Amino acid sequence: MIEAKHVSKWFDGQQVLYDINATFDTGKTNLIIGQSGSGKTVFMKCLIGLMTPEEGEILYDGRKIRNMNTAQRRQIRTEIGMLFQGSALFDNETVLGNVMFPLKMFSPLSHKEQLERAYFCIRRVGLENADNKYPSEISGGMQKRVAIARAIALNPKYLFCDEPNSGLDPKTSILIDELLSDITHEYGMTTVINTHDMNSVLGIGEKIVFINRGHCDWIGDDKSIFRAKSESLNDFVFASKLFQEVKLVLEREAEAAQK
């Protein structure tokens, strides 16, 4: 479980995160949702320690990252996998090289075992035929898969994904979401996913943290999101035509139930 307690963050005197409290559960896909520019990426970077919040604490299963020394921080980083918004694959390495990278740097396994593990991860994300391609030679969806394979290579306890399906078509998005959800349940990871995509919210939103302009306005799950009282959340959820229809249906249902 990851806990964020009273997290606030400023950039050059400009506050972007306001006193955020949230917990992210083990073995679940935890979603952070919100509009573009609401502070999701900054919040996630605070969670993983790429940025330090000016106020507040982050705890990994009770371990405060602020108090850690360098060795402890490195230890915890080997327990973290991260999927960046733009995949962040190493351009000068092949698919296999990218997945091997964390293994080469940190794994105590022999070279042969490392290769086995890398191929296992590559097969797990369904890329067995692309292992010798370079990132520039494969599609965006495949790049995301490589990034997932790289992120899970060291069997992390915590997996972070920043907009895993930005720039992907709806069908590929769903496949990536399902992959993330399957992996999370298979290995009992604590997965935190940033997204502004309502399809993901409904598909894999086991726990949802809604961020609006740096404030955490609502916490819940995919079942309760349509019945939430938060105005800003409703603005976000029912922004598209499709979900306005859903809203009408829901309202009619509610009326019927009252009668």
Partner 1 sequence: MIISSINTFGKYCRFLTQVFRAPDKWNVFFKSLVAEIYKLGVDSIPLVIIISLFIGAVICIQMTLNIVSPLIPSYSTGLATREILLLEFSSSMMCLILAGKVGSNIASEIGTMRVTEQIDAMDIMGINSANFIVLPKIIGFTLFIPVLCVLSMFFGLLGGWFIAEFTSMLTVETYVYGIQSFFNEWYVWYGIIKTLFFAYIISSVAAFYGYYVKGGSLEVGKASTNAVVASSILILLADVILTKLLLQ
Ligand X SMILES: Nc1ncnc2c1ncn2[C@@H]1O[C@H](COP(=O)(O)OP(=O)(O)O)[C@@H](O)[C@H]1O
CA distance 54 to 49: 12
Q: Which stretch binds partner 1 (CB under 8 A): 28-36, 86-94, 219-227, 230-238?
A: 86-94
Asked if 160 and 195 count as a contact pair (C-beta separation under 8 A), the reply is no
| CA atoms within 13 Å, Cβ hemisphere of 185 | 7
Phi, psi (degrees; rounded to nearest 5) at 19: 45, 60
Measured from the CB atom, the residue of 41 and 143 that comes closer to Mg ion is: 41
Q: CB under 5 to 8 A by kind: which of partner 1, ligand X, Mg ion, none does 104 bind? A: partner 1
Asked if 165 and 200 count as a contact pair (C-beta separation under 8 A), the reply is yes
Measured from the CB atom, the residue of 41 and 191 that comes closer to Mg ion is: 41
Q: Which stretch binds partner 1 (CB under 8 A): 18-26, 89-97, 168-176, 207-215?
A: 89-97
Measured from the CB atom, the residue of 39 and 135 that comes closer to ligand X is: 39
- Single out the residue of 48, 65, 121, 180 in contact with partner 1 (rule: CB under 8 A): 48
Q: Pick out residues in 148-167 that bind partner 1 (CB under 8 A).
A: none
CA distance 243 to 237: 7
* 166, two tokens: 């930005």
Residues 6+ apart with CB under 8 A from 153: 81, 99, 100, 102, 103, 117, 118, 121
CA distances from 198 to 74, 229, 233 (A): 35, 18, 12
Q: Which stretch binds Mg ion (CB under 5 A): 34-42, 49-57, 111-119, 179-187?
A: 34-42
Q: Which stretch binds Mg ion (CB under 5 A): 33-41, 94-102, 140-148, 164-172?
A: 33-41
Asked if 231 and 217 count as a contact pair (C-beta separation under 8 A), the reply is no
Q: Pick out residues in 37-76 that bind Mg ion (CB under 5 A).
A: 41
Q: CB under 5 to 8 A by kind: which of ligand X, Mg ion, partner 1, none does 123 bind? A: none
Q: Is 90 in the site for partner 1 (CB under 8 A)?
A: yes
Q: Is 165 in the site for Mg ion (CB under 5 A)?
A: no
Footprint on this chain of partner 1 (rule: CB under 8 A): 48, 50, 73-75, 77-78, 80, 82, 84-86, 88-91, 101-102, 104-106
